[in-house]
Structure formats: C-alpha cells, structure tokens
C-alpha cells in the first residue's frame, strides 16, 4: 500500500478528475437541452407562419365565395326583372357586403389567435434554452463547491 499522504493526494486528484467529468457531462446536457429548445422554437415559428398563411387563404376563399354569390344574385335579380338600381337590391348588396366584412374580421381574429399561441410557444422555447444555461452554471457551481469541500476535508487530514 501507499502512505497516507500519497493516498490523500490520489484521492484529491481523483476528485478533481470526477469534477471535470461531471462538468463536461453537465455541459453536454445543457447543449442538448438548448438544441431541443431551438428545435421547438423553429417548430412553433413554422406553426405561426402556417397560421398566417391559413388566414390569408381563408380570407381569399371567403372573398371568392362572396364574389361568386354576388354574380349569382345579380343573375337571379335580373331574371326577376329587379334592376340593380332599386333600393331593395342596394340594401341586399349592402347587407351581404357587411356580412362578408364581418366574416373577414372573424377569420383574421382567429388567425391572430393561432399565430399568437404559436408565438407564445416560441417564447417558451427561448426561455427553456436560456434556463438550460442557468441550470448548467448552477450545476457547475454546486459540483465545484462539493469538490472543494471534499478536497478541503482531505487536505485537513494531512
């Protein structure tokens, strides 16, 4: 066997080695968590962009439907010998246009809600990535502190 001083120095060296290995493992874990957070952030950003595109498509569909129905109504009114100049026809067109505007506003609001929900996810993913770094720093501080306390005890035995 070796003398107690050498054994103490070997124990201190082993403690330092395990401390460094623990710090490296914590760093690898932090990087993995940050990569996962970045992946989630990109997914939520894509969802937000998709919600915006979906909203534009829904608006365009609603406008096309309005124009199609408008043409149908013009054809029906002309068959019924109602002129486009009559007050009832103008009131009918005005009511239809107001309904279409209300529908468009509703579609935009729904799209905004979807986009905001996805953007909230982006923010959460960013926070998760930053939190991984904070946890890494805390873990390193804890690991180094424990190692120093252990080394101090061993050094006191010399």
- Domain ranges for the chain: 4-157
Report the C-alpha gap between 128 and 147 in whole angstroms.
28
In 3D space, the residue among 31, 33, 41 whose CA is nearest the CA of residue 122 turns out to be 41
pTM for the full predicted model: 0.69
- Alpha-helical segments (H) within the chain: 4-79, 87-157
User: Mean pLDDT in each 10-residue stretch from start to end of the chain (158 residues)?
Assistant: 72 83 90 92 94 95 93 84 80 90 95 94 92 90 85 68
What's 3's DSSP letter? -
> What pLDDT score was predicted for residue 58?
95
pLDDT the model gives residue 155: 67
Can you give the pLDDT at residue 154?
66
pLDDT of the residue at 17:
86
């Amino acid at each position: 066997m070796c003398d107690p001083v050498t054994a103490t120095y070997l124990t201190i060296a082993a403690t330092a080695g395990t401390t460094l290995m623990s710090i490296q493992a914590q760093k690898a874990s932090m990087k993995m968590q940050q990569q996962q957070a970045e992946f989630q952030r990109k997914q939520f950003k894509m969802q937000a962009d998709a919600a915006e595109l979906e909203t534009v498509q829904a608006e365009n569909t609603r406008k096309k439907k309005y124009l199609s129905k408008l043409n149908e109504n013009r054809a029906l009114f002309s068959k019924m010998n109602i002129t486009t100049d009559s007050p009832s026809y103008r009131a009918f067109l005005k009511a239809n246009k107001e309904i279409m505007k209300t529908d468009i506003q509703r579609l935009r609001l729904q799209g905004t809600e979807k986009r905001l929900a996805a953007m909230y996810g982006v923010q959460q993913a960013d926070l998760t990535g930053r939190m991984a770094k904070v946890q890494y720093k805390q873990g390193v501080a804890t690991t180094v502190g424990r190692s120093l306390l252990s080394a101090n005890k061993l050094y006191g035995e010399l």
